[in-house]
Chains A and B, each alone.
Chain A
Amino acid sequence: MQCELYSKGVNEHVTYTRRVLSMTKIKKLTNPFTKDKLKNLKAGDEIYLTGIIYTARDAAHKKLCELLNKRKSLPFPLKEQILYYCGPTPAPPGKPIGSCGPTTSHRMDPFTPLLLKNGLSGMIGKGSRSNYVREAIKKSKAVYFLALGGCGALLAKKVKKSTLIAYPELGPEAIYELKVERFPLIVGIDSKGRSVYAEK
């Protein structure tokens, strides 16, 4: 398929936007995601995350919480990790991952307080969270990040490696360990409970 450049008019807008944004400092974040590193992030901050994150959607969340409730060990250590609400498309040959944008976060709300209580540092998704989740994030001094919704092809380029960790039977909903570089994020809810979204 031929790649077409977008029109000249769009190019000008993109250049202007990038120039304005480059004047805003984009914060960098890497593993381990300690509460100390997270405390200076503010709602609305732009971040580039480099390091390891774990994908988990609805079904995986249900399984993880069942294990926690039964006091059984998890397939990966939860402490100071970040979960990415994502079910990617299958990786084409020669690529580490397929399209991998975020899924809607509030579906994971019922499971989030328990995961935060057990050491989870952050979550990446899209959309707003319930108030009780915002409270739990504040209590745990964790952070909720937003990834670009519907931009799975662009985000795939930021993933350097993908390893299946658990639940292959869940297909796209399995838990994958992703090694990412300069993964663009926006702080959705910071560790003080401030949110970019208005309270409902």
Chain B
Amino acid sequence: MKKSIALIRTCQITEAVSELAILANCVLRKDVVNGLEEALSRETNVRAKSILSSIIENARIAKKEKMPICQDTGMAVVFVEMGEDVRITGGGLKEAINRGIRQGYRQGYLRKSTVDPLSRKNIGNNTPAVIHLNIVKGKRTKITVMPKGFGSENVSCSTVLRPTDGADEIKNFVLNAVKQAGPNACPPIILGIGLGGTLDKAATLAKQALLRPLRRRNRRNDIARLENSILKEINRLGIGPMGLGGKTTALAAHIETFPTHIAALPVAVNISCHALRSATRII
């Protein structure tokens, strides 16, 4: 029996990416707003409470005025889960995505922050997007746009631990990264942690971990316990919102894993500020 193919046009991808880029930048994810509200109700430090309520107020204003939550509208990271029965017509996927970013960043009055890595000349349209493509079963195409701010990206890091290293060494690496970042990553932060794979795979896992709804635990109990333990220890540091003290240094810590080689344990920590932004659509 002949399998049916789902056809999607590149203009559908471009429109979706454009709208998602604007939406992600102006409307803070509901789970992040909930996380901030929960943190506000648990926080006892008055200054920390004041900062948390300003952050929530900022999200409200951004949504109402269609204004970016933060002036750093980020580098566009685009995750595409494409069904293996999907065929794209009208052009290439990469160009369709980048066209969507150019359009969204222009129409949404978002900041163009991408530059050549050496000359530092601004490219002018916030492309290219960093694209992660996965082929999955089925006929649907799921597109997620995550504008990643670089005040937190520039304090993220990775390492390759020894194969005999375990939870303690992983925790130490994560805690040191958070201590080093201090106030600069705009706490309260959210941590994406990648364990395993190769060096680059661990970094991708760490970024993907940030897409998970806040506080949804990893399905494996041992990893969920490590997530919880890391979150508790980070909050015990007392760095607080804007690094000015308080109980709320991190809203969540998510770990994603992948099998790795017998000779090592790659670990990546992708820090997000409190403006953790992403938006998803299924075509």
Residues of A participating in the B interface, judged by any CB pair closer than 8 Å: 1, 3-4, 6-7, 9-10, 13-14, 16-18, 20-21, 59, 86-92, 95, 98-101, 103-104, 106, 126-128, 146, 148-154, 156-157, 170-172, 184, 186, 196-197
Are A89 and B111 in contact (CB-based, < 8 A)? yes
Decide: A126 and B242 in contact? CB cutoff 8 A. yes
B56, B57, B58, B113 pick with most chain A CB within 10 angstroms: B58
Contacts of B54 in A (CB 8 A): 148, 151, 154, 184
Are B109 and A90 in contact (CB-based, < 8 A)? Answer: yes
Interface of B is mostly: helix
Whether B8 sits at the interface, judged by CB under 8 Å, is no
Expressed in whole angstroms, the minimum distance between the Cβ of B147 and any Cβ of chain A is 11
Contact call B186/A126, Cβ cutoff below 8 A: yes
Chain A residues touching B, majority SS: loop
Shortest CB-to-CB span from A70 to chain B, Å, is: 21
Most buried by B among A101, A157, A186, A196: A101
Q: A3-B64, A13-B40 are in contact. Are A151 and B111 (CB under 8 A)?
A: no
Contacting A148 at CB < 8 Å: which of B58, B109, B112, B273? B58
Which residues of A are found within 8 Å of B128, using beta-carbon distances?
Answer: none
Q: Of B69, B151, B273, B274, which one neighbours A99 at CB under 8 angstroms? A: B69
Residue numbers in B under 8 Å from A86 (CB-CB): 71
B63 touches A21 (CB 8 A): no
Minimum distance in angstroms from A145 CB to a CB of chain B? 12
A152 to chain B: which residues have CB within 8 Å?
58, 62, 67-71
Residues of chain B whose beta carbon lies under 8 Å from any beta carbon of chain A: 26-27, 33, 37, 40-41, 46, 49-51, 53-73, 109-113, 120, 122, 124, 151, 154, 182-184, 186, 242-244, 273-275
Report the nearest A residue to B73, measured CB to CB: A89
Q: Pick the contact of A1: B51, B63, B243 (CB < 8 A).
A: B63
Minimum CB–CB distance from A103 to chain B (whole Å) comes to: 7
CA distance A172 to B63 in the complex (A): 22
Do A17 and B183 touch (CB < 8 A)? no
Please, how many angstroms separate the alpha-carbon atoms of A3 and B61 in the complex? 8
Cβ–Cβ contact B273 & A20, under 8 A: no
Residue of B with least CB distance to A100: B71
In the complex, the answer to whether A9 meets B41 with C-beta atoms within 8 Å is yes
In the complex, which of the residues B60, B73, B109 contacts A3, with contact meaning CB atoms closer than 8 Å?
A: B60
Contact between A127 and B243, CB atoms less than 8 A apart:
yes
| A160 nearest CB across to chain B (Å) | 15
Q: Are A91 and B68 in contact (CB under 8 A)?
A: no
Evaluate whether A104 and B151 lie within 8 angstroms (CB atoms) in the complex, with A7-B37, A17-B49, A149-B186 already known: yes
The CA of A9 and the CA of B37, in the complex, are separated in Å by: 8
Q: Which residues of A contact B59 (CB under 8 A)?
A: 153
Q: Which of A1, A127, A156 contacts B182 (CB 8 A)?
A: A127
